[in-house]
């Protein structure tokens, strides 16, 4: 019956049959959707429908087609985290080869994918060790994710590049004082709040929203200006110092080797819904090899390091304006 429904004259019936075939992971339907997605002549709407079916089905045989979509801006942002679901030898090299050409948002997605599996992580860290990729692309949160993989070679490369020490409380306090002095001594009239908003959109909006616009991993910052400058500096420079239970990172390592780090949105007897930086994932408990709640935040501790002094001042000016 499925074969006739996939060829039905009524478009609505065809689409419904394809959706159902995807749910049941019908091999014939998935092969059909891979062909549709691979062909530019299929048309934009038809290809989008095929992509959504393959994404929901988590079809490992679609990886070669998905890798080609890394060069298609209409799909790239969705494809990057999707590729992390599959252990495929071409994924790491493909992401690393394109990393410097990606937008800042897609670079973060790519780093998230590359730190999700030991094989990808080894390729990433060896590229950093060889000088092909800059170390600045990885935050302290990424380094924690790498260590959570529990891979001896990954740990060796991480130790060589970053060592094992975490910034101490004294160092964090010194950094807070330095940035507070920088901000308070600056002629704020010379800095644009709009410039700070642009910095926020580049480095903060993946996780944080303002009045509902932005990411959902961290708290909404609307009205946060009432907490003052110190509130922002403390939370940016030492995000793990005071951390609510709802914002502690849960690390799940699946039986297939994929490591996921995020916030638990909901949980049933059968599955856990995890909010990641780029997407939400539902993981069957039968697929979980290990699970750990960490005393750490998704927010990187070195968020301000890549910014110029002017960008830091503009960002703080914007944050302290959020009424």
Domain boundaries, the chain: 2-162, 169-242+300-319
Q: CA-CA distance, 273 to 277, in Å (whole number)?
A: 13
Q: What is the CATH number of domain 169-242+300-319?
A: 1.10.760
Residues 6+ apart with CB under 8 A from 48: none
0.85 surpassed by pTM: no
Tens digit of pLDDT per residue, the chain (323 long)? 888 898 889 989 999 999 999 999 999 999 999 999 999 888 899 999 999 999 999 899 999 999 999 999 999 999 999 999 999 999 999 999 999 999 988 998 999 999 999 999 999 999 999 999 988 788 767 887 888 888 999 999 998 887 654 444 677 788 889 999 999 998 888 888 788 899 998 888 878 888 888 877 777 888 888 878 888 888 888 776 655 566 778 999 999 999 998 889 899 999 999 988 778 899 999 999 999 888 777 777 678 888 899 999 999 999 999 88
> Which is it for the CA torsion 164, 170, 176, 180, positive or negative?
negative
Q: CA-CA distance, 77 to 103, in Å (whole number)?
A: 10
Closest to 21 in 3D by CA, of 63, 60, 49: 49
* 2-162: in CATH 1.25.10.10: yes
Beta strands in 234-308, from DSSP E residues, in sequence order: 250-254, 259-267, 271-275, 280-284, 288-293
């Amino acid at each position: 019956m499925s074969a006739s429904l996939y060829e039905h004259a009524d478009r609505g019936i065809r689409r419904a049959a394809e959706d159902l075939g995807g749910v049941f992971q019908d091999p014939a339907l998935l092969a059909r959707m891979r062909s549709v997605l691979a062909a530019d002549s299929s048309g934009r709407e038809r290809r989008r429908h095929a992509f959504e079916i393959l994404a929901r089905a988590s079809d490992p045989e679609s990886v070669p087609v998905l890798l080609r979509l890394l060069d298609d801006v209409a799909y790239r942002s969705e494809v990057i985290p999707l590729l992390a679901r599959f252990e495929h030898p071409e994924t790491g090299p493909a992401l690393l080869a394109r990393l410097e050409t990606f937008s800042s948002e897609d670079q973060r997605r790519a780093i998230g994918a590359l730190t999700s599996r030991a094989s990808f992580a080894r390729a990433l860290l060896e590229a950093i060790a060889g000088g092909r990729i800059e170390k600045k692309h990885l935050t302290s949160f990424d380094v924690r994710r790498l260590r959570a993989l529990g891979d001896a070679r990954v740990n060796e490369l991480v130790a060589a590049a970053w060592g094992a020490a975490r910034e101490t409380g004294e160092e964090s306090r010194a950094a807070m004082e330095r940035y507070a002095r920088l901000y308070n001594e600056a002629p704020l009239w010379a800095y644009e709040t709009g410039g700070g908003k642009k910095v926020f959109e580049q480095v903060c909006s993946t996780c944080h929203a303002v009045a509902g616009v932005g990411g959902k991993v961290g708290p909404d910052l609307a009205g946060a200006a009432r907490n003052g400058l110190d509130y922002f500096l403390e939370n940016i420079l030492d995000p793990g110092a005071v951390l609510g239970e709802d914002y502690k990172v849960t690390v799940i390592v699946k039986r297939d080797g994929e490591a996921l780090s995020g916030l638990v949105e909901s949980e049933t007897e059968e599955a856990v819904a995890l909010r990641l930086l780029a997407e939400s994932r539902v993981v069957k408990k039968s697929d979980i090899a290990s699970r750990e709640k960490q005393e750490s935040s998704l927010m990187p501790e070195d968020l301000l390091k890549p910014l110029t002094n002017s960008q830091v001042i503009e960002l703080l000016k914007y944050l302290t304006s959020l009424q």
